[in-house]
């Protein structure tokens, strides 16, 4: 089964609202990363949070990490139509040779004007 599972699979909100996406994983990690993908395009790195960090901010993005629950959340505040995209979490496992990233299935976010 997937190392990273995301919830919800799809999310539709109005512009100006906040969007929250969750990621759960199964085994111990070195770090967890969030990526964004516009339809059919390459993924773009958003933010990285290390296993010893609990919260991180970048502009309108806020990421939390709870290693005891093996979960992370990505909050996008004051969403815009341009935030419409798929968002993926990716985990770097501690015991994974070379620190390869394992991706979740993604959350499709639709922000309506």
Question: Shortest approach of other proteins to residue 80 CB, angstroms?
Answer: 23
Listed in sequence order, the residues at least 6 apart from 61 whose beta carbon sits closer than 8 Å to its beta carbon are: 34, 46, 47, 74, 75, 76, 77
The stretch among 12-20, 60-68, 73-81, 86-94 that binds other proteins (CB under 8 A) is 86-94
Assess 102 for contact with other proteins (CB under 8 A). yes
The dihedral built from the CA positions of residue 87, 25, 93 and 62, taken in this order, carries a sign that is positive
> Between residue 5 and residue 64, which ones bind other proteins under the rule CB under 8 A?
9, 30-31, 33, 35, 40-45, 48
Q: Please check whether residue 86 is in contact with residue 36, taking contact to mean a CB–CB distance below 8 angstroms.
A: yes
Contact positions vs other proteins (CB under 8 A)? 2, 4, 9, 30-31, 33, 35, 40-45, 48, 88, 90, 92, 97-106
């Amino acid at each position: 089964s997937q190392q990273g599972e995301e919830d919800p699979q799809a999310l539709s909100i109005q512009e100006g609202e906040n969007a929250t996406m969750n990621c759960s994983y199964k085994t111990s990690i070195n770090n967890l990363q969030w990526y964004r993908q516009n339809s059919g395009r390459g993924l773009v790195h958003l933010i990285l949070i290390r296993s010893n960090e609990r919260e991180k901010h970048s502009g309108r993005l806020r990421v939390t990490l709870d290693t005891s629950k093996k979960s992370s959340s990505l909050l996008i505040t004051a969403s815009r139509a341009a935030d419409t995209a798929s968002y993926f979490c990716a985990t770097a496992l501690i015991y994974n040779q070379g620190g390869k990233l394992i991706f979740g299935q993604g959350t499709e976010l639709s922000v309506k004007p």
